[in-house]
Amino acid sequence: MTVVRDDDELVALWFPQGTRWKAPTTPATRPRAPTRAQRFAESLTLGDWTFTDLVWDVSTLWLMRPGDWHAVWVSWLESGRHLGWYVNLQEPFRRSSLGFQTMDLMLDVIVERDRSWRWKDEDELDLLVARGVFDAELGQRLRAEGLAVVARARSGEPPFGEPWPSWHPDPTWSRPELPEDWQRI
């Protein structure tokens, strides 16, 4: 990703469409579970996964505030039209020698341009809680966090009331490349 802003109040990271990234997947040494939720639960329970190469499919600006249990992603279609916001519920970010580190906590919120919203991946969170990967208290905390962010979106509080949907990357920026030592985290 390209760092757009990094100060005490906000970290903004540009993740353009077409960027190569690594995603965890089931190791070849064991059978692949039929659903994404089951694959995540098994990999997290067993503590084993491998990484596969993927390509990011929509241009996205990640907005993270220190201490927040979420990031707000502002996304655009290839035409440049603002798609809406994606609230990724995650551990508060930490700095590492390579940049920023966090842990996705499965449950997400989709906030449309008209501020209507819906949960995403509730089944994945429920399965991780049922299998003991996440405790019930974390599940409740994530739902409360999601609802608090929805309230901010509906009332136009930052970052939803800010001009991020009209932001554009510097046209001279090249597509970010994954560093050779990315696995060193």
Q: What is the pLDDT of residue 3?
A: 96
Q: What's the gap between Cα 127 and its chain centre? A: 19
What ranges do the domains of the chain cover? 2-19+56-167
DSSP code at position 34: S
Give the pLDDT score at 165.
94
pLDDT at residue 20, as a whole number: 94
Residues 88-116 have a mean pLDDT of: 94
Q: Are 49 and 39 in contact (CB under 8 A)?
A: no
Query: What average pLDDT does range 57-82 have in this prediction?
Result: 95
Confidence label for 99 from pLDDT (cuts 50, 70 and 90): confident
Lowest mean pLDDT among 39-48, 86-95, 129-138: 39-48
Q: What confidence tens digit (pLDDT) does each residue in 2-25 have?
A: 999 999 999 999 999 999 999 999
All residues at 6 or more sequence positions from 66 whose CB lies less than 8 Å from its CB, including other chains? 8, 9, 11, 92, 93
Nearest-angstrom CA–CA distance, 43 and 173? 36
Superfamily of domain 2-19+56-167: FomD-like (2.40.380.10)
pTM: 0.92
Tell me the H-state helices in the chain.
Answer: 36-46, 122-130, 136-154
Assess whether pLDDT exceeds 90 at residue 129: yes
- pLDDT confidence band for 185 (50 / 70 / 90): low
33-42 confidence digits (pLDDT tens): 999 889 989 9
Instruction: Report DSSP state, residue 77.
Output: -
